Structure 1
Amino acid sequence: MHRITLLFLILISNILLAQNEIGNKLVKDKFLKYFELPRESVFLHTNKTTYIVNEEVWLKGYVYDRHNGKPFSETTTVHVGLYNVDGKKFDDYHFKASNGYFKGNIAVDSMLASGEYYLRSSTNWMKNFIEDDSFVQKITILNEKLIEKAKSVREYDIQFLPEGGNLIEDAPGVMGVKVTDANGYGVKIVEGSVFDTNDTQVARFYTSIFGLGKFNFNPKAGIEYVAKIKFDDGSTKTTKIQKPSKVGISFTVKSVNNDQFVISLTTNVATKEIINEKQFYLLVHKDGHANRIPITFPKNKLYVSKVLNKEVLNKGMNILTLFNPDGRPIAERLIFNYADLLDAELEISKLSTASDSLNIQVKLLDTAKALQNLSVSVLPGNTISYNQKNSIYSTFYLKPYVKGFIENPKYYFKDVTPKKEKDLDLLLMTQGWSRYDWTNIFKGAPNRFFEFENGIDLEGSIYNKGVTSNDKLLVSFPDNRSRYLDILDNRFLIQRNFPVKGETLEFTLIRENRKLAKVNIDLNIRLGGIPNEIETTWKEKADFINDNDSEDVIVPSITYADNTINLNEVTVIEEKLKTTVEKNTLIPKYLSRKMTEVTENLEFSLPYVTDIIRSRGYNVLEGLQFGSTSRVIIRSIIPSSFLGGSTYPVPIIYLDNARLPNFDILYKMPTTEIESFMIDKTGSFEGARGAGGVIRIYTRRLPRDYNDQYSRDENVFKYELKEGFEPVKKFYTPKYTSYLSNEFENFGTIHWLPELQTNENGIATFKILNTFQSNVSFFIEGMGSEGQLISAEQTLVVE
C-alpha cells in the first residue's frame, strides 16, 4: 500500500512538473514570437527648441534597431507631423533616411501663432505594433510681442504604487509615492507621514524634485492607513492608502553593488498554504532577449531571496516579470543596467581663431567608439532657446519601455552619478508594469500588415484625348534618369520613387507611330499616413503664480541683415484685381470680359488656386478626408433650392475648357501657373446642373521667364512636385545686425552640423562663425555604425 502511494505521488509530481515545463515553454514561445519582428525607435535632434517665426528648424534624425542595438538600415522614409498645443496637425513633412540617418529642415511658418508645438516622427513599419514607438519633440514658436506666462493652480495628484505592483497584507514590501501637479509634473514635498487607525505613525517619506519617493511598508490585516503630506507653502493634504490584497506575493529588487543585485519575494500565511513549494520563475527580458530564473519558497518560509550577478542583465533596460506556477504573470519590475553604456565622452577645444571664424576640434576620449556620425548645434553660451528634455540615450534606452510620462528623461543620462542612478531606479519602481502588456503578448505576434517603405508609387492621370495603351509616356527625372511608362485607361504608375518637393519632372507622350506629343497630366502622391490628431503628452511646466500676477514675457524682435524677422503685426492689403486679359484663343469671346487676370499681387496674396476659390465664397477642403478618396473637395456654402435645402452643391470647373471629373489636379496648384479665371456663382449658362456655380481656369501659355529653351521643348510637359520628400538644404548662418545684443545671446544661432564624421582616432574639426561671444555652447548627439551612442553638452570659453 505504501509502495502504491509513493508511486502515485511520484506520478503526480512528474505530471505537475511536466505541466509546469509546458507552461514555461509556452510563455517563452509567445514572448519570442511577439518580438520576432524588429522594433525601431526614432530620435530627432533639433538645433534649438525655441524658434522665432521665419527661422528654420534644422534637424537630424536617428533610427535605431532596438533588438540588435544598431542603426536601422531598412528604414528609408520617416514621416514628421507638426501639431499645435491641442494636438491638431498643422502640416506634415517626409524625409529620406539612409543607413539609420536622415536630415533636413522645416520652415517656421508665419501663420503659426506663438505657443507650444509638437514634432512627431514615425515610420510606416511602426504601424504593425500596438505600442506607439513614435517620437514626439516639443518646440516653442514666438510670433507675437507678448507671451502670457504659464500659470498653474495648486492641484495635486497623489498616488501610492507598491513595488512590483502588489500590496499584500501582513507581507513587508516597498511602497512608492508619486505626487504631481495639474499638468503631470512632479512636486517635491516637505514631508509625508503614514498613520494607522490608532493615529500611530508607521512610516515617513519625502519626494525628489520629480515628486517621487518610497518607504518600507508592512500593511496589517484589518487596518486602514492614511498619509498626511505637507507642501512647501505650508498647506497639507490627507489621503487614504489603498487596501492590501488578502493573498499574493510582494516583489522587490535591490542593487547590492556594481556586480550584484538581490530579488526578494514575500508572502503571508494564507498565500503560503496555497502555493506550498511550487516553483515560480523570473523572466529577465528586453526586446526579444530573455533569461529564465527559477524561484521556490522554502518549506515553512514566507520569503525567499536570490542574489544574482548583473551578468544576467541586458545592457540598458531590463524587465523582470514574475510568473506563478501556472505561467501567469503576477508582478513586474523595471531596472536599468548602466554598465558600458555611457562611456563615449568627448572634449571640445578651439584650435585657432581667425577674424571671421573659429576652428573647432571634437575629440572622443574612448577610441573604441571612435567612428561616430554626430549632429552638432552651436549656440551662444547664454542661450535660452535650447531646452531639450530628450537625448539619444533616453530615447533609445528608456522611453520605449515605460508606458507613463517621464519628466525630463535626459536628466538620468547626463553626468551620471550614484544619486541619478537611484533616481532612475525610483522612477522605474513607481512606473509599475512596462509598456508591453502580457495580455497582448499571449494573444499572439503582431501581424506584418505594413512594410518598410522603399520609395513611394506615383499614380498619374493623362487628360489628353485619344491616348491608348499602345502609346508610351517618357518621364525624365532631375538627375537625368529617364523611364518609359505603360499607359492603361489614361493612367500610369511610377514605382518606388523618391520625389523631392519642388523638383520638376518632364513628361513626353510617345504615340504609337513614334511621333511626340505634349501631355496634360496630374500626379497623385501618397506619402505615408500621419495622424491628423495626437494626444499632447505634456504641457509646459509652470510655476505657481498668483491670480493677480499678470506679468508677460516680452518676445524680442530679431533683425537679420538680408531678411527681417519682425514680430510686429503685418497687414497685407490686396489691391483691386485687374480684369483685362491678354488675347487668348482658348477663351470664348463672350467670356473674355468676364475673366480676371492673375497679377503678381494676386499671386502673393493668394498663392494657391484653391485660395482664390475659397476667397470667392466656396468651402474648400484639401487633403484626404475621412470617408473620401478625393484630395480636393469644393462645395457651395449656400444650399441649393434645386437639390433640397440641406444639400450644398458642387461647382462645375473647367481647366483650359476641359471639364474636370474631380478636383484633385487643383491640389496645391500654384496661382503662378494660371493666367486668368472666372467664377460665376449663378451657373446660369449650365442650367440646373450649374447650381453650384461655374469656374473656368486658364493656365499660362508661356511662363514669365519664357526663353528659347521652352520653344525647343514644345513637346515636354513640366510638372512641379507640390508634395514629396523634403529637399536637403545646406545650413546657412543667419546674418544678425548685432552679435552682442541680449536678443542674439538668448535666441541666436551660430552653427549647425547635421553630419560630422569623426575619424578612426575619434577626431573631427570644423569652422564656425566668430560672433565674438565670450563662451559658446555645443549640443551634440550621435550614433556610430555599430550602434554606439553619444550625447554631450559642453560650453567652450573663447578667449
Structure 2
Amino acid sequence: MHRFLLLIVLFVSSNVVAQNDVGHKLVKDKFLDYFELPRESVFLHTNKTMYIVNEEVWLKGYVYNRHLQKPFHQTTTVHVGLFNAKGENFKNYHFKAKDGYFKGNIVVDSMLVSGEYYLRSSTNWMKNFKEDDSHIQKITILNEKPLKKESAVRDYDIQFLPEGGNLIEGTPSTMGVKVTDGNGYGVRIIEGSVFDDDNAQVARFYTSIFGLGKFNFIPKVGKNYIAKLEFSDGNVQTVTLQKPMKKGVAFGVKHIDDDRFIITLTTNETTKEITDNQQFYLLVHKDGHANRIPLAFPKNSLFVSKVLNKEVLNKGMNLLTLFNSDGKPIAERLIFNYADLFDAKLEVSKLALETDSLKIQVKLLDADVVQQNLSVSVLPGNTISHNQKNSIYSTFYLKPYIKGFIENPKYYFEDITTKKQNELDLLLMTQGWSRYDWNDIFRGPPNQFYEFENGIDLEGTLYGQEVSSNDKLLVSYPDNRSRYLDILDNKFLIPKYFPEKGDMLEFTLINNKTLRKPTVGINMVTAELPEKLNQIWNEKVIPKPEDFNENIKMSGLISADNTINLNEVTVVEERMKTTVENNVFIPKYLKGKMTEVTEDIEVNFPLVSDIIRSRGYYVREELSFGSTDRVIIRIRTVQSFESKRAMPVPAIYLNNVRLNTFDLLYRMPTNEVESFLIDKTGAGEGVRGSGGVIRIYTRRLPRGYTDQGSSDNTIFKYEFKEGFEKVKKFYTPKYTSYFSNEFENFGTIHWVPELITNENGIATFKILNTFQSNVTFFIEGMGAKGQLISAERNLIIE
C-alpha cells in the first residue's frame, strides 16, 4: 500500500515538473517573440558640447543593431530634433545614413538664446516599440547674454532598494542605497546608519560620488527599521525602511572572478512549504538571446546557490530574471559582462610639423580590431567646451536596458579597473528591474506598423490648371535623371526620395508633344517627431573653483568675417514684404497690417488653428455633442455665464469671402497661407465684430516656387527649403586669436567625421597648427563587424 502511494506521489511530482517545464519554455518563447523584430540604437558624436552663436555643431551618427551587435544597415534616414531647455521642439533635421553611419552639421542660429538644448536622434523604425530607443545629447549654447547660474539643490531623495527586488523577513539580504538631489544627481553622505525599534545599530553604510551604496542585514520578524543619514552640510535625514515581505524568495548575484559568478536564492521558514519540490528557473537574456537555467531548493533547505561560468552570459549587459513554478517573474538583477568588449586600444602621435599644419596618426593597437570607421574631434588641451557624459560604449551597452537616469554613464567605460567594475555592478543592483516590462512581453510581440524609411515620400499637387488623362508630368532630378509621374486628380507621388536642402526639381507637363509649364506644390511626408521631450534634466551644480572667471566674453572670439552680414538680413526682409504688397487681392488699407507667413511661423504653428489659438481664441477641431460644426472658434472673454454660446464668434474671411462655417479651416496647414490678419477689436465690422475679425489669404503659388531667371516658360522649378541636410566639408572658424583664454576654453581646432583605418589599423590626417602646446583628441568609432571604440587622448606638441 505504501509503495503504491509512493508511486502516485512520484507520478504527480514528475507530472507537475513536466507541466512547469512546458510553462517555462512558453515564457522563453514569449521572450523570443517579443525581440524577434531587431532593435536599433543611435549614438550622436558631436565635436563638443558647448557652442558659440554662428559656430557649427559638427556631428557623426552611429546606428547599431543590438541583436547582431553590428551596424544597422537597413536604416537610411535618421531624424534629429533640436529642443530647448523646457524640452520643446525648436527645429528638426533629417540625415541620410548608409551602412550604419551618418554625418553632417547644424548651424548654431543667432536666434537661439544662451542656455541648455537637447539633440534627439531617432528613426521611424523605433516607433514600433514601447521602449524609447531615441538618443538624447545635451549641448550648451552661448549667446551675448550669459548663462543663468544654477543654484544648489538642497532637496534629497533617499531610496532603499533590496537586491533582486525582494526583502524577506528573517532572510539575509543586500540592501542598495540611492541618494540623489532634487535634479536627480548623486549625493555623497558622510555616514549612514540603520537602527531597529530598540535603537540598536544593525548596519552602517556610505555612498559614492554618484550617491550609491549598499549594506547587508537580516530583517527580523516584527521589527521596524529606520536609517539616519548625515550630509556634508550638517543636514541629518531620517528615513523609515520599507517593511519586509512575510513570504518570498530573495535573489542575489556575486562575481567570483573574471570567469565565474554565483547566484543565490534564500527564503525563510514561512515560505519553506512553498519552495519544497518547486522548480524555479533563471532566464539569462538580452536582445533576443536567452539561456534558461533550472534551480530548486534542496529538501527542507532555506538556501540554494549555483556557481556559473560566465560563458552562459552575453557580452555586455545581461538581465537575470527569476521565475517561480507558475512562470511568474518574481525577481530580477542586471549584471555586466566586460569580457572581450574593450580590447580595442589606440595611440595618437604627431608625424610631422609643417608651416600651418600638423600631420597626425591614429594607430589601433589590437591586431583583431584594425579596420574602423572613426570620428575625431580635436580641441585645445585646456578646453571646457567638451563635457560629454555619453560615449558609444555607454549608449549601446548600458542605456538601452536601464529605465532610470544615469549620471555620467561613460564614466564606467573609461580606464576600466576592478573598482569601476564594482561601481557599475552597484549601479545595476540599485536600478531594480530593467526597462522591459514582463507584462508587455506576455501580451505579445510589438506590431510592425512602421517600416524602415528609405528616403522621404513627396506628395505633389498641380495647381490652377486642368489636367487630362493624356497629360504626363516629367520630372528632372539634380543628377540629370528624368522620369514620368502618374497624375490622379491633380495629385502625384515621388516615393522614397532623398531631397537635400537647396536641391531643385524641374517639372514639365507634356500632351501630344506640347510642353506646358505647371504650377507645383510639394508636401514632404516624414516620420512624425514629438513636440516635447519626455525627460529633461538640469546640469549638476558643482561649486566653481576660486580662479574661475565668470566674465569671459565670447563676442570677440570669432572673426566678424565668419558671421552674417547685416545687409543680407535687410534684403531678405525686403523680399518678404513684396509678397503682400504685390498681392492684388489684399485691399490697400490692409497691406500694412498683414502678417507674412514665414518659414519660422510654419514651423512653430503648423496649422492655421494654432495661429488663431495663440492669439487668445478658444479653438476646437472636432465634433462635439449638440453641434454639427467640425471647427469651433470663439473669443475667450465670457459675456454671459448662462451658456458658452454667448461667447462672441469672430468674423473670419478667407480670400475676402466671409465664412458662415469654419469647417474649411479644419486642420488647414499654415504653409498654404500667404498672410493673415487677426484683429480682436473687430474694427470695421460693427456689431458683427464683437468677437474680432480674422482675414486669411492663401498662397497664389506654393512656397518653393522660383523662376531662377530661366527663359524657358515650359519648366517649373521647385527648390527644397526643407529636406536632408547637405554634407559640408569641415572648416575651422576664423578666430581672432589662437593665444587667448577664450580660444583655449571654447575654440575648435579640427573635426574628422569619417577616418577609416587601413589593414594595419593606421589612419592619418592633418590639423591646423594653432600653436597649442597641448591638444586633446576625442575619438568614437564602430567597425563593420560591430567593434566599438571610445577614447580620449592628449598630445603634447613640442
- TM range, smaller chain: 0.7 to 0.9
Once the two structures are superposed, the pairs formed by residues 22-101 of structure 1 within 5 Å of their partners are: 22-101=22-101
Q: Please give the residue correspondences for 1:416-435 in structure 2 after superposition, counting only pairs within 5 Å.
A: 416-435=416-435
Query: What is the deviation of 1:300?
Result: 2.3
> Secondary structure of the equivalent of 1:773?
coil
Q: Where in structure 2 are the equivalents of 1:517-666 lying within 5 Å?
A: 517-543=516-542, 554-563=552-561, 619=611, 646-653=648-655
Please state if 1:14 is matched with 2:17.
no
Whole-Å Cα distance in 1 between the matches of residues 247 and 717 of structure 2? 75
**1:139-538 correspondence to structure 2 within 5 Å:** 139-511=139-511, 513-538=512-537
User: Which residue identity is paired with 1:413?
Assistant: F
Deviations 1:413-438 (A, max 9, x none): 01111100000000000001111111
SS of equivalent residue, structure 1 residue 693: strand
What's the CA shift for 1:704?
Answer: 10
Greater CA deviation, 186-195 or 456-465? 456-465
2:714 aligned residue: 715
Preserved contact between residue 154 and residue 544 of structure 1 (Cα < 8 Å): no
**Aligned equivalent of 2:766:** 767
Matched AA of 1:514: K
CA contact under 8 A between 1:621 and 1:634: conserved in structure 2? Answer: no
Q: CA deviation at 1:499?
A: 1.3
2:626 matched residue in structure 1: none
SS at the partner of 2:213?
strand
Change (3 A) 1:92 1:789: same
2:476/2:505 contact within 8 Å kept: yes
Please give the alpha-carbon distance, in whole angstroms, between the structure 2 residues aligned to 1:9 and 1:398. 47
Mapped to 2, the partners of 1:492 and 1:262 lie a distance apart of: 64
CA distance in structure 2 between the partners assigned to 1:251 and 1:158 by the alignment? 22
Alignment match of 1:693 (pick from 682, 686, 695): 695
State the shift of 1:648 in Å: 3.8
Letter in 2 for 1:269: E
**Aligned CA distance change for structure 1 residues 231 and 607 (closer, same or farther; 3 Å):** closer
Provide the C-alpha distance between the structure 1 equivalents of 2:231 and 2:650, rounded to a whole number of angstroms. 59
Q: Distance in 2 between matches of 1:336 and 1:678?
A: 59
Cα deviation code 1:754-798 (max 9, x no counterpart): 111001111000000000001111101000001000000011111
* CA shift in 2, pair 1:610/1:130, >3 Å: closer
For residues 233 and 404 of structure 1, the distance between their equivalents in structure 2, rounded to whole angstroms, comes to 27
CA distance in 1 between counterparts of 2:326 and 2:83 reads 46
Q: CA deviation at 1:516?
A: 0.5
SS at match of 2:368: helix
In the TM superposition, what is the alpha-carbon distance from 1:606 to its structure 2 partner? 6.7
Q: Which residue of 2 aligns with 1:758?
A: 757
Aligned partners of 2:53 and 2:141 also within 8 Å: yes
1 CA distance for matches of 2:576 and 2:228? 75
Distance 1:544 1:380, change over 3 A: closer
Distance 1:57 1:667, change over 3 A: farther
Counterpart amino acid of residue 94 in structure 2: H
The CA deviation string for residues 126-160 of structure 1, in whole angstroms up to 9 with x for no partner, is 11111111111111111133223111231111110
Report the AA paired with residue 410 of structure 1: K
Letter in 1 for 2:248: G
For 1:167 and 1:700, the matched residues in 2 are separated by 66
Output the TM-score relative to the length of structure 1. 0.87
Name the SS for the 2:7 alignment partner.
Answer: helix
Deviation per residue, 1:57-79 (Å, 9 max, x gap): 11111000000000000111111
CA distance, structure 2, for counterparts of residue 316 and residue 28 of structure 1: 20
Residue matched to 1:116: 116
Which residue does 2:625 correspond to in 1?
none
Residue-by-residue CA offset, 1:331-352 (whole Å, 9 max, x unaligned): 1100000011011110000000
Change (3 A) 1:777 1:582: closer
Provide the rounded CA distance (Å) in 2 between the counterparts of 1:702 and 1:122: 27
Instruction: State the shift of 1:692 in Å.
Output: 3.5
Q: Tell me, yes or no, if the aligned pair for 1:506 and 1:719 is still in contact at 8 Å.
A: yes
Partners of 1:76 and 1:98 within 8 A in 2: yes
Indicate how the Cα distance of structure 1 residues 606 and 312 shifts in structure 2: closer, same or farther if over 3 A, else same: closer
Contact 1:678 1:697 in 2 (8 A): no
Moved more, 661-670 or 17-26: 661-670
What corresponds to 1:658 in structure 2? none
CA distance in 2, matches of 1:414, 1:490: 59
Q: Give the Cα–Cα distance (whole angstroms) in 1 for the partners of residues 656 and 383 of structure 2.
A: 54
Q: 1:39·1:65 contact (CA, 8 Å) conserved in 2?
A: yes
Counterpart of 2:81 in structure 1: which amino acid? G
Q: What CA distance in whole angstroms lies between the structure 2 residues aligned with 1:788 and 1:702? A: 44
Looking at structure 2, the residues matched to 374 and 145 of structure 1 have their Cα atoms a distance apart, in angstroms, of 36
Tell whether the 8 Å contact from 1:618 to 1:634 is kept in structure 2 after alignment: no
Name the SS for the 1:395 alignment partner. Answer: helix
1:426 and 1:618 map into 2 onto residues whose CA distance is 48
Deviation digits for residues 580-602 of structure 1 (CA, Å, limit 9, x no counterpart) = 99999x959x978987899xxx9
- Distance in 2 of aligned mates of 1:531 and 1:702: 25
- The amino acid that maps onto 2:787 is Q
**CA–CA distance in structure 1, aligned partners of residues 272 and 437 of structure 2:** 27
Question: Conserved in 2, the CA contact under 8 Å of 1:149 and 1:553?
Answer: no
Residue 125 of structure 2: aligned partner: 125
Q: Is the 8 A contact 1:85 1:117 kept in 2?
A: yes
Aligned-partner Cα distance in 2 for 1:716–1:577: 23
| Match of residue 743 from structure 1 | 742
Which whole-Å CA distance do the structure 1 matches of 2:671 and 2:11 have between them? 76
> Matched residues in 2 for 1:350 and 1:189: separation?
45
TM-score, with length taken from structure 2:
0.88
Identity level (%): 62
Q: Which amino acid aligns with 1:693?
A: R
**Per-residue CA distance 1:196-230 (angstroms, 9 max, x = gap):** 11111111111110000001111100111111111
Q: Contact 1:522 / 1:665 at 8 angstroms: preserved in 2?
A: no
Relative distance call for 1:541 and 1:572 in structure 2 (3 A) is farther
What is the DSSP-based 3-state SS (H/G/I as helix, E as strand, rest coil) of the residue aligned with 2:119? strand
Q: What letter corresponds to residue 556 of structure 1 in structure 2?
A: M
More divergent stretch after superposition (464-473 vs 448-457): 464-473
Provide the rounded CA distance (Å) in 2 between the counterparts of 1:405 and 1:608: 33
Q: Distance in 2 between matches of 1:225 and 1:104?
A: 56
**Equivalents in 2 of 1:701, 1:372: separation in Å?**
43
Number of aligned residues? 762
Q: Distance in 2 between matches of 1:702 and 1:415?
A: 52
CA distance in 1 between partners of 2:212 and 2:10 (Å): 50
- Unpaired segments ≥5 residues, structure 1: 656-660, 672-676
Q: Secondary structure at the match of 1:368?
A: coil
Change (3 A) 1:58 1:223: same
In 2, distance between residues paired with 1:429 and 1:140?
Answer: 32
1:728 alignment partner, SS class: coil
User: Paired residue for 1:674?
Assistant: none
Cα distance, 1:470 vs structure 2 = 2.2
How far is 1:368 from its partner?
A: 1.0
